Structure 1
Amino acid sequence: MLIIVYGEDSFRVQEKVRTLTEAFRKKFDPSGMNLATFGSPSTGSGHIEIGEVMQSARSMPFMGEKRMVVVRDLISKSKKGDEETWAALKEVPDSTIAVLWESDEAKTIEKKPLFKALKDAADLHLYPFPALEGSALTKWVTERVVSRGGKIAPAAAFELSERVGGDLWHADAEICKLVAFANQSQIDVAHVRELVRPSFEGEIFAFIDAVSQRNGKEAFRLLSQERSAGSEDHYLLAMLARQIRILLGVRAMMDENPRVTKDEIANELALHPFVAQKSMAAAKRFTLPELMRAHDAIFEREVGVKSGMDPAAAVDLMAAELSA
């Protein structure tokens, strides 16, 4: 059996791998003698030796029915031509469960030649975990609260998802706090607003409002606030890029059809209806050419950062240019 767990949502990826290994231990390996892990950051080993992995995968279980071999970031680190080398993973014994744990973006993993080569394995199970957003994120928040023994109002679930964004590590910590605070009562919007500080993803519309009004002072105050709270500039730049791309798409649809509805925009751009509504209001403050220039500018900043530009300088330049 070959299992590939992959995607940029590290919380759900790690949770899935933990669920698989715990179920394996409980059912097949209480002694812990038949579980091997390769490429684990905790071991300090980034290099994966094919000989060691395949020897482990082909070995018979020690006093048990099954053996599990977990390999981290094999596909993401693979190069062209590696698919021939690692094709043997498709033919591991029936007694072996091979798990590939990948942390790159789901779309990136799916484009890798090794991923494509492994897709025709006879007993293959794929678990992609792309980043959650919109209604999918709100649904996850609701289900997570229930799994933690709590109850949450739909409006509160949406408010929480807006405040924490797609960071499920942060979301889960806040959910634990809210469930404990509510003490068997339903979590409502007031609870969320009282206890959960918005992330920059939640504050992005305040930033857009500031730059649309050419209020550079307020825009930089918001950036300073986020940096003081621990937000890294790579994250801030990514959030700005995402919002500008959303606004560009929204503005283009509004220009093409002045009667377009928030639901039509939400469906076309895969946004939560509330986000679509707020984006429509924000997009009205910009012309399409302005947003196209902003899109080109932030693309240049992203390329610059990848080439060595200081990400803090890139964020500050974007804020200054948008506010000018």
Structure 2
Amino acid sequence: MLILVYGDDTFRVQEKVKALQTAFVQKHDSTGFNFASFGADAKPGEALQAIGSLPFMGKKRMVVIRDLIATTKKDGEGAWASLANTPESSIVVLWETAEPKVLEKKVLFQTLKKGADVHAYPFPVLEGSALAKWATERVRARCGSIAADAARELAERVGSDLWQMDNEIGKLVAFAKGRAIAKSDIEELVRASFDGEIFALVDAVSRKQGAQAIKLLRQERASGASDFSIFGMLARQVRLLLGARALLDDDPRASSQQLASEMSVHPFVAQKTLDQARKFTLADLRATHDLLFRYDTGMKSGLLDAELAVDLITTALVR
């Protein structure tokens, strides 16, 4: 049996692999003698020998290999093709952390997928309603409950990082002490991710909400973010906005998938950026981009303070 567990949602990928290992130990290998694991640098001879070996005092053995498909070069794929037909006595788990769409295009993945006893579990990054649903289910798994608007707010603030999300949920369940987690709890206890704060800042300036933009800037600085970091994130977002605005000018019905493909960003980021780009003109964004270049040069030469540069860029975007 060959099991493909893959995706850039590393939290769910790891949980699935651990669940498979736990089930295997409970059912087939209480002694631990029939389990082996290899990293991405696994040599075919060594790993395939482990896979082909008969179980010791048991009926099954499990072999886990990390990032095999993602790191194997084309000229080395042939050595692993036999994994599609693993011995009946072996369970092979390929633990892959590449984006599903990228991994599924690889020849080795397609070759292995054609095997007779192959099972695939893709775990793409969650976003939107799917992310809020996962958060709700995770709260329930911790014997808690959460209001629908609170789950949406949590998803919006934390984003797709389920490692952080799981930590936040643990704190929230403990804080709620048996009652349902409310949106106000999220607002009080959960700090938005840095990317989320930048999106919120750009949302504020796109709506010409200067006071809100200044408030968000102060919050970022108070949390310890440096003005150099804020400037860098603003510069990145302006570049994304430029690309999105140019795409919309060419095709007003352009999709987030198009932008994600053209600018190599996650679809969630692409959708947020497209929504924001509709509130700016291409000329305004180009002017802001020119300012960013000038301010960046001034900061590097010591002629301009980073805090002032961030304030000036924010002001330019609000106008």
**Please, what TM-score do these two structures have when normalized by structure 1?**
0.73
- From 182, 193, 206, the counterpart of 2:187: 193
Alignment RMSD: 4.2
Partner SS, residue 92 of structure 2: strand
Are 1:122 and 2:116 counterparts?
yes
Q: 1:38, 1:53 within 8 Å by CA — same for their partners in 2?
A: yes
Matched AA of 1:149: C
Moved more, 51-60 or 114-123: 114-123
Correspondence for 2:280 among 266, 276, 286? 286
**1:24 corresponding residue in structure 2:** 24
Residue type at the aligned position of 2:54: M
Could you tell me how far apart the structure 1 residues matched to 2:287 and 2:75 are? 40
From the superposition, tell whether residues 79 and 267 of structure 1 become closer, same or farther in structure 2 (CA, over 3 Å). Answer: closer
Q: What is the match of residue 147 of structure 1?
A: 141
The ranges of structure 1 where at least 4 consecutive aligned residues each deviate by more than 3 angstroms after the TM superposition are 209-215, 217-229, 235-253, 264-272, 282-285, 288-295, 316-324
Contact 1:7 1:103 (C-alpha < 8 Å) held by counterparts: yes
Are residue 240 (structure 1) and residue 234 (structure 2) matched?
no
The answer to whether the Cα contact below 8 Å between 1:162 and 1:201 also exists between their aligned partners in 2 is no
The reply to whether residue 11 of structure 1 matches residue 11 of structure 2 is: yes
- For residue 228 of structure 1, report the CA deviation from its aligned partner: 3.2
The answer to whether the 8 Å contact 2:104/2:110 transfers is yes
- The residue number in structure 2 matching 1:260 is none
Give the secondary structure class of the aligned counterpart of 1:81.
helix
Max Rg structure = 2
Residue by residue over 1:233-279, the C-alpha shift from the partner in whole angstroms, topping out at 9 and shown as x without a partner, is 9x9589838973896499669x848xxxxxx989999769xx87x97
Q: 5+ residue gaps in structure 1?
A: 40-45, 258-263, 299-315
> 1:312 — aligned with what?
none
Task: Percent identity, please.
Answer: 48
SS of the residue corresponding to residue 228 of structure 1 reads coil
Q: How far, CA to CA, are the matches of 1:318 and 1:120 in structure 2?
A: 54
Is residue 241–residue 274 contact of structure 2 (8 Å, CA) maintained in 1? no
2:85 to 84, 91, 94: 91
User: Over residues 128-167 of structure 1, what are the superposed CA-to-partner deviations in whole Å (9 max), with x where a residue is unaligned?
Assistant: 1111111111111111111111111100000111111111
- Which secondary structure does the structure 2 equivalent of 1:83 belong to? helix
**Contact (CA 8 Å) 1:66, 1:96: kept in 2 or not?**
yes
2-side partners of 1:47 and 1:286: how far apart? 48
SS of the residue corresponding to residue 8 of structure 2 reads coil
Counterpart residue number, 1:33: 33
Q: For residues 72 and 238 of structure 1, do their structure 2 counterparts lie closer, same or farther at Cα, with a shift above 3 Å needed?
A: farther
Matches within 5 A, 1:1-324: 1-39=1-39, 47-209=41-203, 212=206, 218=214, 224=221, 228=225, 236=233, 240=237, 244=241, 248=245, 256=252, 280=275, 282-288=276-282, 324=316
Give the secondary-structure state (helix, strand or coil) at the position aligned to 1:21. helix
- Sort the Cα spacing of 1:52 and 1:129 in 2 relative to 1 into closer, same or farther, 3 A: same
User: Secondary structure, in 3 states, of the residue corresponding to 2:133?
Assistant: helix
TM-superposition CA deviations, 1:8-33 (whole Å, max 9, x none): 11101111100000010011111111
Contact 1:2 1:123 in 2 (8 A): yes
Q: Secondary structure at the match of 1:197?
A: coil
Give, in angstroms, the shift of residue 103 of structure 1. 1.4
Contact 2:245–2:281, Cα closer than 8 Å, also in 1: no
What letter matches 1:16 in structure 2? K
What CA distance in whole angstroms lies between the structure 1 residues aligned with 2:9 and 2:223?
A: 22
The offset of 1:320, in angstroms, is 7.6
Deviation, 1:201, is 3.3
Identify if the C-alpha distance between structure 1 residues 239 and 90 changes in structure 2 by more than 3 Å, giving closer, same or farther.
farther
C-alpha spacing 1:172/1:210, structure 2 compared with 1 (3 Å): same
Structure 1 residues 113 and 279, CA gap change in structure 2 (3 angstroms):
closer
Structure 2 unaligned segments of length 5 or more: list them: 260-266, 293-307
Which residue is equivalent to 1:304?
none
Residues of 1 paired with 2:234 and 2:37: CA distance? 35
